[in-house]
Amino acid sequence: MSILANKDTRVVIQGGQAGVNAARRMAEFCYLIKRPLNVEAFVYPPDAGKTNEIPYGSGLIAVPVYATIAEATKHHPAINTSLVYIGADRAMKAGLEALDDPHIHLVSMITEGVPEKDAKLLGAHARKLGKVFNGPSSIGIISAGACRLGVIGGAFDNLVLSKLYREGSFGVITKSGGLSNEIIWICSQFADGITTAIGIGGDAYPGTDYVTYLEMFENDPQTKAVVIVGEMGGDLEERAAEWYGAKKRRIKLIGVVSGFCQESLPKGMKFGHAGAKEGMKGEGSARSKSEALQRAGAIVPPTFGALGPAIKEVYQELLKSGQVKEVVEPASLPKLPKTVEEAMKADEVIVTPLIRTTISDDRGDEPCYDGYPASELINKGYEIPHVIGLLWDKRLISKQEAEIIKRIIMLSADHGPCVSGAYATILAACAGIGLSQAVAAGLIMIGPRFGGAVTDAGRWFKYAVDNKMSVDEFLAYMKKNVGPVPGIGHRVKSLRNPDKRVKELVAYVKSLNIKTPCLDFALQVEQVTAAKKDNLILNVDGTMAAVLVDLGFPVDSLNGFFILSRTIGLIGHWVDQKRQDSRLIRLFDYLVNYAAPKRREVPPLK
């Protein structure tokens, strides 16, 4: 047996994320005691109509969210308890809504910082209706082996260590949430554990007090003794003492009160809980409370540390008198399934990775590129080309190589609005398309005819150099097997109207006195092809390709240099159009050669 919360308790949780977290803890307990989840619904207007997924064992239970308590209890008529996790400014309304529902008999409020006036109103309202309002600031209620309301009891391991999977003989009532777990733990170590533990909250005027629950425990035959943990302030402990001393009680009462340190501290100093403040004239002091409990016949250990032995003594007496029997622990208990991460940490599973990476790692406090922390690269003077070298070729390139790459990027960042890429981006921008999609529209244009010849140019120049081909052999091979030489030829530029970008890049690379076999070969090819036709010059794609192959970059990465640098221009074009608030554009009829058949009659459908 237990009080307040039992196997028939069905719960609605009022609140958002905090409520979901509590439901998860409650599900862990239900799983431990092999009972179905006791949370049937949530009430949280912003999420009404959705469900909250609550892990139970290795599965997930979808718990519906409603806008009102009335809806929740209409769909789940077994609900008899509400837990309130609503913010302090709306807590009273939520609490009243729950109390006023005929299905609900127990409302426990977890919210902290509820105005005193609101808490008193809620308590009075519940008493008028003959219901129980527990809290505010309550950590929850737990009945061993039967029902958990809220996060009281803590983590799964603690539930097991504190033997909460089966009944003991001790009731617990505390103001403090943290100490409730401590007392449950002590009861399981020094005695046979608890029946029910209740956090009443540390506010000055909680809805229900020690006496409410002492009455209930007195009528619960399984509970043989009750531990109360009090603190200075208010008169709840004095009331408990008064109740206990009023007549012969079946249950034994063990109590501790905190706040003796007040006697040597500045007067009126406020400690911990809202209710922990000394009265105006010495009333509510730890000493007066302890003495009141002692006078009423309760066992009052002198310090918190002496509580365990005191509980043990009571338990031994109960054993001796035959009121309780030695507990037989169950042979086995359900284990909470581990998450994949936990199981991996414990070397219990092997997981086949889904992807593999060899270039970067973001698991520390900052990303590492090929093992080098980004901030360290910055602090040691490395620049963007070095990051490209690390991520594209997994090597730390030299200063000289970085300078070449920087120039390549600068030279091909943009080529005006008319080329396919920029035009596509502008067209998209004018249609009101967002940045990433409009830039992607421009990037899609990069291919064999626009900007996408770098990789192929590099591949074939490299092929020729690797196979020690002469220019003539190469051109013959290309004509027979491939077609026009990628990297050679320009739409508008020619020998007489050279591409200044090419001249610039070639001149710089040649000035460095480094070995450039591919570039040299490409220039020789140009001499032959340009002699045949004026515009068959080495274009910017071909030049970049030859230089990058000479630097050792993998052939497959070469188009990346154009894509990367041109992205700078494409972003610029999109921002430019956006800034101008450009309007939707369309082609003019006169720019189209309408070569479609003339208008004609549609034949009947056969």
Partner 1 sequence: MAKVLEGPGMGLMKKWGIHVPNYVVVTSAEELAKLGQVNDWLKRSKLVAKAHEAMGSRFKLGLVKVGLDLDGAVSAVKEMVGRLVGSITVSQVIISEMIPHKEEYYCAVKSVREGNEILVANCGGIEVESNWDRVKRLPVEVGQQPALEALEKVVKEAGFTGPLVKRMADFAGKLFACFDNEDAQYLEVNPVVARESDGELVALDAVTLLDADAKFRHPDWNFQFAAEFGRAYTKNELDIMAIDSKIKGSVKFIEIPGGDTAMLPAGGGASVYYSDAVVALGGKLANYAEYSGDPPDWAVEALTEKVCGLPGIKNIIVGGAIANFTDVKKTFGGIINGFRKAKADGKLKGVKIWVRRGGPREKEGLDAMRALKDEGFDIEVFDRYTPLTDIVDKALAGK
Least CB distance to partner 1 at residue 544 (A): 48
Question: What span, in angstroms and rounded, lies between the C-alpha atoms of 425 and 530?
Answer: 33
Question: What span, in angstroms and rounded, lies between the C-alpha atoms of 153 and 181?
Answer: 6
Of the candidate residues 95, 145, 153, 569, the single one contacting partner 1 (CB under 8 A): 153
Question: What span, in angstroms and rounded, lies between the C-alpha atoms of 314 and 320?
Answer: 10
**CB neighbours (10 Å) of residue 579?**
8
- Write out the two tokens for 250: 């079946």
Q: Give me the residues paired with residue 488 across strands.
A: 538
Residues 12-31 that bind partner 1 (CB under 8 A): 21, 25
Give the nearer residue to partner 1 in terms of CB position, either 25 or 490: 25
Select from 86, 202, 183, 93 the least CA-distant residue to 137: 202
Residues 508-527 that bind partner 1 (CB under 8 A): none
Q: Residue 144 in contact with residue 2, Cβ under 8 Å?
A: yes
Per-residue H/E/C for 257-325: EECHHHHHCCCCCCCCCCCCCCCCCCCCCHHHHHHHHHHCCCECCCCHHHHHHHHHHHHHHHHHCCCCC
Name the DSSP letter for residue 262. Answer: G
Give the nearer residue to partner 1 in terms of CB position, either 15 or 487: 15
Select from 133, 120, 134, 185 the least CA-distant residue to 159: 185
Which of 76, 103, 125, 273 is the catalytic position? 273
Residues 261-320 that bind partner 1 (CB under 8 A): 261, 263-274, 276-277, 286, 303-305, 308
Burial of 93 (0-12, 13-18, 19+ CB in 10 A): exposed
Residues 60-99 that bind partner 1 (CB under 8 A): 88-89
Residue 47 in the binding site for partner 1 (CB under 8 A): no
Concerning whether 273 is annotated as a catalytic residue, the answer is yes
x-or-dash string of contact with partner 1, 169-188, rule CB under 8 A: -----xxxxxxxxx--xx--
Of the candidate residues 16, 123, 168, 451, the single one contacting partner 1 (CB under 8 A): 123
Least CB distance to partner 1 at residue 302 (A): 8
Q: Residue 207 in contact with residue 233, Cβ under 8 Å?
A: no
Least CB distance to partner 1 at residue 188 (A): 11
Degrees, nearest 5: CA angle 486-487-488:
95
Give the nearer residue to partner 1 in terms of CB position, either 259 or 458: 259
Least CB distance to partner 1 at residue 25 (A): 7
Of the candidate residues 3, 98, 151, 545, the single one contacting partner 1 (CB under 8 A): 151
Q: How many CA atoms lie within 13 A of 370 on its CB side?
A: 13
Least CB distance to partner 1 at residue 200 (A): 11
Give the nearer residue to partner 1 in terms of CB position, either 264 or 352: 264
Select from 96, 163, 166 the least CA-distant residue to 129: 96
Residue 560 in the binding site for partner 1 (CB under 8 A): no
Give the nearer residue to partner 1 in terms of CB position, either 239 or 406: 239
Give the nearer residue to partner 1 in terms of CB position, either 169 or 290: 290
Name the DSSP letter for residue 382. Answer: -
Least CB distance to partner 1 at residue 89 (A): 5
Length of the chain: 606
H/E stretch holding 173:
strand 170-174
Give the nearer residue to partner 1 in terms of CB position, either 224 or 273: 273
What is the DSSP pairing of strand 194-199 with strand 140-143?
antiparallel
Give the nearer residue to partner 1 in terms of CB position, either 194 or 475: 194
Of the candidate residues 202, 421, 442, 458, the single one contacting partner 1 (CB under 8 A): 202
Least CB distance to partner 1 at residue 261 (A): 4
Query: What's CA 418's distance to the chain center, in Å?
Result: 45
Least CB distance to partner 1 at residue 120 (A): 5
Question: What span, in angstroms and rounded, lies between the C-alpha atoms of 344 and 337?
Answer: 13
Select from 7, 27, 206 the least CA-distant residue to 118: 206
Residue 161 in the binding site for partner 1 (CB under 8 A): yes
Q: Residue 554 in contact with residue 393, Cβ under 8 Å?
A: yes
Of the candidate residues 232, 251, 426, 545, the single one contacting partner 1 (CB under 8 A): 232
Burial of 540 (0-12, 13-18, 19+ CB in 10 A): buried
x-or-dash string of contact with partner 1, 101-120, rule CB under 8 A: -----------xxxxxxx-x
Least CB distance to partner 1 at residue 56 (A): 19
Question: What span, in angstroms and rounded, lies between the C-alpha atoms of 124 and 184?
Answer: 30
With both helix axes pointing from N to C terminus, report the angle between 435-444 and 420-430 in degrees, rounded to the nearest 10: 150
Give the nearer residue to partner 1 in terms of CB position, either 9 or 258: 258
| Interface segment toward partner 1; rule CB under 8 A; list 253-261, 353-361, 418-426, 490-498 | 253-261
Residues at the interface with partner 1 (CB under 8 A): 21, 25, 88-89, 112-118, 120-121, 123-124, 139-140, 151-155, 158, 161, 174-182, 185-186, 202, 204-205, 229, 231-232, 235, 256, 258-261, 263-274, 276-277, 286, 303-305, 308
Known catalytic residues are 273
